[in-house]
Structure 1
């Protein structure tokens, strides 16, 4: 068999985004079998294309993680489907800039106040839900002044949000769930079903913070328990998926972490098309 050419970091980022959204069934999330009324599969696929210039810039010339996240958000706002990959960008750009998880940790440690301000500008371009207790409101101009006054780096911003946002928490725990997801993909083997299996494994053990922001902690924990029941054979996966879609329960944060895990696993030789 002819050896495959290795993918660039930018290609791996695009491939990870595409593979995550196309895998099915992933309970509650947009996939090739169902859309939401305001966001469809095509919107997610469009984002994988529109984001490429920012990925290329990160790989070829480096740059600051805050400005790269902002550029990616601006590029992917070029469709009507709203925010599709903001959380994924938060995880992918340190990985692209750093090369791997260890390098991503160094990128996180090297962020500064300018990165934090650029990130808040990017945040303001999205429709991402904020917690009710957030006093650094992206819609409040005084928040940027507060960031400057406190000297908060982007790593500080993530630490500030980590207890209520599992994507931000990845920046504070060394990308632990990203690493776990990549390991799960290797464990479950090649192909689409490994993505579903890894996604379910995470959903069964981690309350999704996107669900918690939208529906409350109780629903997030109940969703986690239902996913665990699916893994134990107590519940039907298709029925669980249908219930989540019906109730608007979408584990968006675990989807973002799955994208990051796919990026890492692809760089380690995991095969998506076997």
Structure 2
């Protein structure tokens, strides 16, 4: 029955479940607003993004066009940037879902998503840049040799993209592998160029967990944050602050080894045993300190979508 459900419905549900999960230290959830972001804004963003998600499920529509439309709809309904990173991950996942439905396997997996991102074009990259004109997105400065590719240039970067022949995957590869070893890579970009390993690993954490999906999402959020420093935290506060936030999250996992890093560093039992009561204290501390692990929320949303497609249910 799950496989027959509309993937756009599942993607919308993933957006709603992600923001409803609590506690997600430093992020908006159903118990917490931030000074400049509210829970209901995320609900509006999920609804507004739907038209773009429907385009992502249409194999005849360019991927970048679907993404830009989703971002524009989100921004129009939410009035701000709520789920830009979530949509960057959901759009190729949705496209892979519909392309695989017509194949012999019929199953959404990492190989299917990798094929979708490898097929991205220069036009998709141009549309991705246009999406930044709809919302303010917190991003780090580009490398010195890529100043003309700063995403904050929006459509003005189109000539450089076309001259260099850069596809959307090419552009994201620049952020995924920064030259500075101390710089925290863009985790969403790494998903695009590495075949979504964090997404699929975290989806298994969710699928094999028990209890409400919102609680599973909250535990998975902690696991993802513990596994790797958050890109948004690093952009706002620096790499060391991002790594410290991950260490603090790891302390809430069941039997997690100190200093472990990477999504494979924690097994499902460690994540399933995450202490959500203790996470309430960390949530309050992160809000006070302005620590907002937004990229971790994006990955959690993507993992929820995959888990739902693989059989996770909201029903008890």
TM superposition score category, shorter chain reference = over 0.9
Q: Distance in 1 between matches of 2:245 and 2:233?
A: 9
Q: Which secondary structure does the structure 2 equivalent of 1:230 belong to?
A: coil
**Which residue pairs with 1:144 in the alignment?**
158
Secondary structure at 1:222 match in 2? helix
1:99-114 matches, cutoff 5 A: 99=97, 100-101=108-109, 102-114=111-123
Distance in 2 of aligned mates of 1:262 and 1:78: 24
Q: Structure 2 length as normaliser, TM-score?
A: 0.81
Per the normalisation by structure 1, the TM-score is: 0.93
Aligned length: 272
1:37 Cα offset (Å): 1.6
Over aligned residue pairs, what C-alpha RMSD do you find?
A: 2.0
Q: 2:193 aligns with which of 169, 172, 177?
A: 172
Q: Distance in 2 between matches of 1:80 and 1:49?
A: 9
CA deviation string 1:51-108 (max 9, x = no partner): 1122222224541111111111111111454211111111111111111233221110
The answer to whether the 8 Å contact 1:10/1:96 transfers is yes
Alignment match, 2:216:
194
**Matching residue of 2:269:** none
Q: Secondary structure of the equivalent of 1:37?
A: coil
Aligned pair partner of 1:156 in 170, 174, 180: 170
Rounded to whole Å, the distance in 2 between the matches of 1:90 and 1:221 is 24
Using the alignment, how far apart are the partners of 1:166 and 1:5 within structure 2?
Answer: 28
Partner of 2:125: 116
- Distance in 2 between residues matched to 1:139 and 1:190, nearest whole Å: 41
Residue in structure 2 matched with residue 68 of structure 1 by the alignment: 66
The equivalent position to 2:134 in structure 1, one of 113, 125, 131, is: 125
Q: Partners in 1 of 2:42 and 2:162 — Cα distance?
A: 34
Judge conservation of contact 1:62–1:97 (CA < 8 Å) in 2: no
Structure 2, unaligned runs of 5 or more: 98-107, 178-184, 255-273
